[in-house]
Structure 1
Amino acid sequence: MSQWILLRGLTREARHWGAFDAALVAHGLVGAGERAACIDLPGNGVEHAHAAPLSVIEMMDFVRERAMSLNVRMPCRVLAMSLGAMVATAWAERHPDEIERLVLINTSMRPFARVTERLRPAAWPMLARIATGWTRPDRCEALIHTLTCNRDDTRDADIAHWADLRRTHGASAANALRQLAAAARFRAGRDAPRCPVLLLSSAADRLVDPACSTRIAKQWRASHSVHPWAGHDLPHDDANWTCEAIAAWLDAHERTRDIRVANP
């Protein structure tokens, strides 16, 4: 089984995955005794001391080097969210032999989406409040939770935990702006990556219009599944649905491959 790499998005880090790695194991997506490799983008988490590059391509080079240093088996599978999905796309486009499968969650990228789809106008006032409250961890994380999560039963615990992460390894305001600039500038190819791609999106995403994923999937003729109520942070809101969608997609590809082998 190929190894999974997990990439988070804007200013988020590996520890924001929470118990998602356990869900991967429970659904058989990660083998017994193995773990997915959670790699932080430069400027986030354990890499918070690094200046975030102003280009997604440079972020990709950084992540790729980290994967090599961790001895990740190639070709690997990459599951990535938002800005991380742009990094994963750049990797698959430039080093296709290293990526076996690609799962992109609630992402957006040129030339498939307009500015008002990539960041919904209704979210702009809250993003401004997040920016002005960047040095106030609890307030900032409460706003981020409201904007990105539709599951509320763990809200208080989430905010307390995320605020602690911000106090220890939080991304700086400067790195947040640099990552946002890199995301805005990134342009993917109109042709699909060589590996199979699955798009997952949330119908109730308040940050990014799910039309972005729909358009990418249509252009690339890629598989696409839509969650009916989750927010932008789909793995947080419904880890089981996310894993079930990935497992079903992988099973479908395996069946198709078996049919092709049996009927060359």
Structure 2
Amino acid sequence: MPELTWFAWALLALAAVVVGLSKTAVPGAGTVAVAIFAAVLPARQSTGTLLLLLIVADMFAIAMYRRHTNWRALLRLAPAVLVGVLLGVGFLFIADDVWVKRTIGVILLAVIVITLLRRRFDAGMADGGPHRVAAATYGTLGGFTTMVANAAGPVMSMYFLAARFPVKEFLGTAAWFFAIVNLFKVPFSIGLGIITVPGLLVDLVLVPLVVAAAFFGRWLAARLDQSLFETLVIAFTIVGAVYLLLA
């Protein structure tokens, strides 16, 4: 078991709760967990450790929203996502912990900008709808950011919103998208050495919190003030990204 302070464990526990909530109530909120894991654990190890918790949460999201999935949209994204994941694998192969940490910080700042732009231009994007260029752009960026930093939530949320999906179809399509992509990443993560035995031990401690938060997220979804929560997520993510860039 990694030697971590009680405060580090408390932060990881908070991140595990965020992971569960992000899959069943607030898509994109997982960027907070990305920042916490990368701040507490070595940057490369943090990516692999968080990946396994995300997969657990994906399974619960699928169970809750499996009947509401747009498979045509997923097939349209598949080629670009594959390219993005492979680019991320190449980057992780040559990058050390410092570069990974800085890159995660930059990615988090980028997805914050994307989220803010999404809020501003939602109506215009919905009128135009997504097309092949959008699928290629967001698919590639989503594949790269999810491989390097597990931070594709806001990127893909923007794409799914542009597709004008109803709420349940949005959640169901996103659930299957991340479940498939995250499972696809596992062999690469093992080969790159970012899934480790110490990371697995950390996951065993945190999995119950992810499960509990996933069920709580389902209850919370209908009662949550989404605008306020997204504002808090953006604020926390900015703090985490700046920390990673300056640490």
Same fold (TM over 0.5): no
When you count helix as a share of all residues, which structure comes out higher?
Answer: 2
TM-score range for the pair, normalised by the shorter chain length = under 0.3
Larger Rg: 1
Higher relative contact order, chain-length normalized (CA < 8 Å, sep 6+): 2
TM-score calculated relative to the size of structure 2: 0.25
When you count strand as a share of all residues, which structure comes out higher?
Answer: 1
TM-score calculated relative to the size of structure 1: 0.24
